[in-house]
Structure 1
Protein backbone atom coordinates (compact mmCIF):
# COMPACT_ATOMS: atom_id res chain seq x y z
CA UNK A 1 0.00 0.00 0.00
CA UNK A 2 1.23 3.44 -0.93
CA UNK A 3 0.59 6.65 1.03
CA UNK A 4 -1.59 9.03 -0.97
CA UNK A 5 -3.36 6.20 -2.83
CA UNK A 6 -7.08 5.53 -2.48
CA UNK A 7 -8.45 2.02 -2.00
CA UNK A 8 -11.81 0.26 -1.97
CA UNK A 9 -12.50 -2.71 0.28
CA UNK A 10 -13.72 -5.60 -1.89
CA UNK A 11 -14.40 -8.14 0.85
CA UNK A 12 -13.24 -9.64 4.13
CA UNK A 13 -10.93 -12.66 3.79
CA UNK A 14 -9.98 -15.42 6.23
CA UNK A 15 -11.07 -13.57 9.38
CA UNK A 16 -10.26 -15.96 12.25
CA UNK A 17 -12.70 -14.43 14.74
CA UNK A 18 -16.09 -12.68 14.55
CA UNK A 19 -14.64 -10.09 16.95
CA UNK A 20 -12.21 -8.89 14.30
CA UNK A 21 -15.03 -8.48 11.79
CA UNK A 22 -17.06 -6.59 14.41
CA UNK A 23 -14.09 -4.29 15.00
CA UNK A 24 -13.82 -3.52 11.27
CA UNK A 25 -17.55 -2.80 11.05
CA UNK A 26 -17.43 -0.56 14.14
CA UNK A 27 -14.59 1.43 12.54
CA UNK A 28 -16.57 1.79 9.31
CA UNK A 29 -14.42 -0.65 7.33
CA UNK A 30 -16.79 -2.80 5.27
CA UNK A 31 -16.99 -3.97 1.65
CA UNK A 32 -17.55 -1.09 -0.77
CA UNK A 33 -16.00 1.56 1.47
CA UNK A 34 -13.28 3.75 -0.04
CA UNK A 35 -10.42 5.19 1.98
CA UNK A 36 -7.11 6.95 1.47
CA UNK A 37 -3.85 5.81 3.03
CA UNK A 38 -2.58 9.02 4.61
CA UNK A 39 0.69 7.84 6.13
CA UNK A 40 2.66 5.09 7.77
CA UNK A 41 4.40 5.47 11.10
CA UNK A 42 8.22 5.65 10.90
CA UNK A 43 8.53 1.88 11.45
CA UNK A 44 5.65 1.04 9.10
CA UNK A 45 3.01 0.19 11.70
CA UNK A 46 0.32 1.44 12.33
CA UNK A 47 -1.14 3.04 9.20
CA UNK A 48 -3.35 6.14 9.16
CA UNK A 49 -6.47 5.86 6.99
CA UNK A 50 -8.88 8.61 5.97
CA UNK A 51 -12.53 7.56 5.43
CA UNK A 52 -14.34 10.74 4.46
CA UNK A 53 -14.03 12.98 7.51
CA UNK A 54 -12.98 10.10 9.77
CA UNK A 55 -9.30 9.42 10.42
CA UNK A 56 -8.24 6.13 12.01
CA UNK A 57 -5.19 3.99 12.61
CA UNK A 58 -4.96 0.28 11.89
CA UNK A 59 -2.22 -2.31 12.23
CA UNK A 60 -0.71 -3.84 9.10
CA UNK A 61 -1.39 -7.27 10.59
CA UNK A 62 -5.13 -6.49 10.53
CA UNK A 63 -5.11 -5.41 6.88
CA UNK A 64 -4.42 -8.99 5.76
CA UNK A 65 -8.13 -9.66 6.39
CA UNK A 66 -9.23 -7.06 3.83
CA UNK A 67 -9.11 -7.66 0.10
CA UNK A 68 -8.71 -4.24 -1.48
CA UNK A 69 -8.65 -2.63 -4.87
CA UNK A 70 -6.21 0.22 -5.55
CA UNK A 71 -8.29 2.96 -7.15
CA UNK A 72 -5.21 4.38 -8.87
CA UNK A 73 -5.44 1.46 -11.28
CA UNK A 74 -3.39 -1.25 -9.60
CA UNK A 75 -5.05 -4.21 -7.85
CA UNK A 76 -3.86 -4.65 -4.30
CA UNK A 77 -4.32 -7.35 -1.69
CA UNK A 78 -2.86 -6.30 1.64
Structure 2
Protein backbone atom coordinates (compact mmCIF):
# COMPACT_ATOMS: atom_id res chain seq x y z
CA UNK A 1 0.00 0.00 0.00
CA UNK A 2 1.18 3.52 -0.79
CA UNK A 3 -0.12 7.07 -0.46
CA UNK A 4 -1.68 9.27 -3.10
CA UNK A 5 1.29 11.61 -2.72
CA UNK A 6 3.58 8.94 -4.23
CA UNK A 7 1.54 8.42 -7.41
CA UNK A 8 2.30 10.01 -10.80
CA UNK A 9 0.14 11.57 -13.52
CA UNK A 10 -1.95 8.98 -15.35
CA UNK A 11 -1.87 6.43 -12.52
CA UNK A 12 -5.10 4.71 -11.48
CA UNK A 13 -5.81 3.59 -7.95
CA UNK A 14 -8.33 2.55 -5.33
CA UNK A 15 -8.72 4.15 -1.91
CA UNK A 16 -7.82 1.68 0.86
CA UNK A 17 -8.08 3.91 3.93
CA UNK A 18 -6.57 6.83 5.81
CA UNK A 19 -3.37 7.42 7.72
CA UNK A 20 -4.05 7.19 11.46
CA UNK A 21 -1.79 10.21 12.09
CA UNK A 22 -3.99 12.60 10.08
CA UNK A 23 -7.53 12.52 11.54
CA UNK A 24 -8.21 16.15 10.60
CA UNK A 25 -8.06 15.35 6.86
CA UNK A 26 -10.20 12.21 7.09
CA UNK A 27 -13.57 13.99 7.26
CA UNK A 28 -12.65 16.37 4.44
CA UNK A 29 -11.51 13.56 2.13
CA UNK A 30 -14.62 11.50 2.87
CA UNK A 31 -16.87 14.46 2.06
CA UNK A 32 -15.12 14.86 -1.33
CA UNK A 33 -15.97 11.27 -2.29
CA UNK A 34 -12.64 9.64 -1.47
CA UNK A 35 -14.22 6.78 0.47
CA UNK A 36 -12.64 3.31 0.88
CA UNK A 37 -13.10 1.35 -2.33
CA UNK A 38 -13.50 4.42 -4.58
CA UNK A 39 -11.45 4.26 -7.77
CA UNK A 40 -9.65 7.36 -9.07
CA UNK A 41 -7.18 8.59 -11.66
CA UNK A 42 -4.34 11.04 -11.05
CA UNK A 43 -4.83 13.73 -13.70
CA UNK A 44 -1.79 15.88 -12.97
CA UNK A 45 0.78 16.69 -10.34
CA UNK A 46 2.25 20.19 -10.02
CA UNK A 47 6.03 20.46 -10.54
CA UNK A 48 6.76 20.67 -6.81
CA UNK A 49 4.14 18.03 -5.96
CA UNK A 50 1.54 20.45 -4.60
CA UNK A 51 -1.34 20.28 -5.55
CA UNK A 52 -2.35 16.89 -6.97
CA UNK A 53 -5.42 16.74 -9.21
CA UNK A 54 -7.47 13.53 -9.17
CA UNK A 55 -10.68 12.48 -10.88
CA UNK A 56 -12.99 10.49 -8.64
CA UNK A 57 -16.68 9.73 -9.20
CA UNK A 58 -16.70 12.02 -12.27
CA UNK A 59 -15.34 15.08 -10.43
CA UNK A 60 -11.90 16.64 -10.49
CA UNK A 61 -10.44 17.39 -7.06
CA UNK A 62 -7.21 19.16 -6.16
CA UNK A 63 -5.46 18.07 -2.98
CA UNK A 64 -2.53 19.55 -1.09
CA UNK A 65 0.54 17.40 -0.36
CA UNK A 66 -0.46 16.83 3.26
CA UNK A 67 -3.97 15.75 2.26
CA UNK A 68 -2.59 13.40 -0.41
CA UNK A 69 -0.18 11.88 2.12
CA UNK A 70 -3.10 11.07 4.45
CA UNK A 71 -4.82 8.88 1.81
CA UNK A 72 -3.69 5.25 1.63
CA UNK A 73 -4.21 3.80 -1.84
CA UNK A 74 -3.63 0.71 -3.95
CA UNK A 75 -2.35 1.11 -7.50
CA UNK A 76 -4.38 -0.44 -10.34
CA UNK A 77 -3.10 -1.58 -13.72
For residue 34 of structure 1, the aligned residue among 25, 34, 39 is: 39
Name the TM-score, length of structure 1 as normaliser. 0.79
Partner residue, 1:6: 12
Q: Give 3-state SS (helix, strand or coil) of 1:43's partner.
A: coil
Given the superposition, is the C-alpha separation of residues 63 and 27 from structure 1 closer, same or farther in structure 2, using an over 3 Å criterion? same
Partner residue, 1:60: 65
5+ unaligned residues in a row in structure 1: which ranges? 73-78
- Aligned pairs, number: 71
**Looking at CA atoms only, which structure, 1 or 2, has the larger radius of gyration?**
1
| Runs of 4+ residues deviating >4 angstroms | none
* Structure with greater contact order relative to length (CA < 8 Å, sep ≥ 6): 2
5+ unaligned residues in a row in structure 2: which ranges? 1-6
- The alignment yields a C-alpha RMSD, in angstroms, of 1.4
Q: Per-residue displacement from partner, 1:30-67 (whole Å, max 9, x unpaired)? A: 11011000001132210000013200100121122221
